[in-house]
Amino acid sequence: MLNSSNSFTKIGQALIMQAETISHRVLEERSSRYPTVFHQPYDKQKSYSYIVSFIKLLGESLSMKDEKAELVLMEWAKKTALFAVEYGQSLDIAMQPLPFIRRAMLDLISKDVNSEELSINALLAVIKKMDINIDLATHTFNETYVKNYNEINQQQKKRITDLSVPVVPLFHNLGVLPLIGEIDDDRADILREITLKKCIKEKLSFLIIDISGVTSLTPEVLRHLFMLIDSLRLLGVKTILTGVRPDIALTALSFESEMSGIQTMASLKQALEILGYGRTLKI
* Predicted confidence (pLDDT) at residue 138 exceeds the cutoff of 90: yes
* Predicted confidence (pLDDT) at residue 43 exceeds the cutoff of 80: no
Q: What integer is the mean pLDDT of 265-283? A: 71
> What's the rounded Cα separation, in Å, for the pair 192 and 221?
11
Please report the pLDDT score of residue 261 as a whole number.
75
Instruction: Calculate the average pLDDT of the chain.
Output: 83
Q: For the chain, what is the largest distance between any 2 Cα atoms, rounded to a whole number of angstroms? A: 99
Please report the pLDDT score of residue 119 as a whole number.
73
Count, residues in the chain: 283
pLDDT band of 268, cuts 50, 70, 90: confident
Q: What integer is the mean pLDDT of 132-140? A: 94
**Closest to 24 (Cα-Cα) out of 101, 98, 78:** 101
pLDDT tens digits, one per residue of 75-134: 999 999 998 888 888 888 889 899 999 999 888 887 766 655 667 788 888 889 999 999
Please report the pLDDT score of residue 238 as a whole number.
92
Among 38-42, 143-147, 202-206, 274-278, where is mean pLDDT lowest? 38-42
**With helix as H, strand as E and coil as C, how does the chain read?**
CECHHHHHHHHHHHHHHCHHHHHHHHHHHHHHHCCCCCCCCCCHHHHHHHHHHHHHHHHHHCCCCHHHHHHHHHHHHHHHHHHHHHHCCCHHHHCCCHHHHHHHHHHHHHHHHHHCCECHHHHHHHHHHHHHHHHHHHHHHHHHHHHHHHHHHHHHHHHHHHHHCCCEEEECCEEEEEEEECCCHHHHHHHHHHHHHHHHHCCCCEEEEEEEEECCCCHHHHHHHHHHHHHHHHCCCEEEEECCCHHHHHHHHHHHHHHCCCEEECCHHHHHHHCCCCCCCCC
pLDDT tens digits, one per residue of 48-66: 899 999 999 999 999 899 8
pTM equals: 0.57
Please report the pLDDT score of residue 164 as a whole number.
60
Please report the pLDDT score of residue 69 as a whole number.
93
53/281: higher pLDDT? 53
Please report the pLDDT score of residue 39 as a whole number.
57
4/126: higher pLDDT? 126
Provide the sign of the torsion angle of the four alpha carbons 195, 198, 204, 208, taken in this order: negative
> What's the rounded Cα separation, in Å, for the pair 174 and 271?
11
- 210 conformational bin, left if phi > 0, alpha if psi -120 to 50, beta if neither: beta
Please report the pLDDT score of residue 280 as a whole number.
47
For residue 265, the cross-strand partners are 242
Q: For the chain, how far is it from start to end, CA to CA, in angstroms?
A: 97
* Predicted confidence (pLDDT) at residue 283 exceeds the cutoff of 50: no
> What's the rounded Cα separation, in Å, for the pair 105 and 54?
12
* Predicted confidence (pLDDT) at residue 282 exceeds the cutoff of 60: no
The winner for highest mean pLDDT among 65-74, 79-88, 259-268, 270-279 is 65-74
Please report the pLDDT score of residue 236 as a whole number.
92
Q: In what order do the strands lie in the sheet with 206-214?
A: 168-171, 174-181, 206-214, 238-242, 263-265
pLDDT tens digits, one per residue of 154-213: 776 666 665 566 788 888 889 999 888 777 777 777 888 888 988 999 899 999 998 888
Question: Within 10 A of 280 (CB to CB), how many other CB atoms are there?
Answer: 4
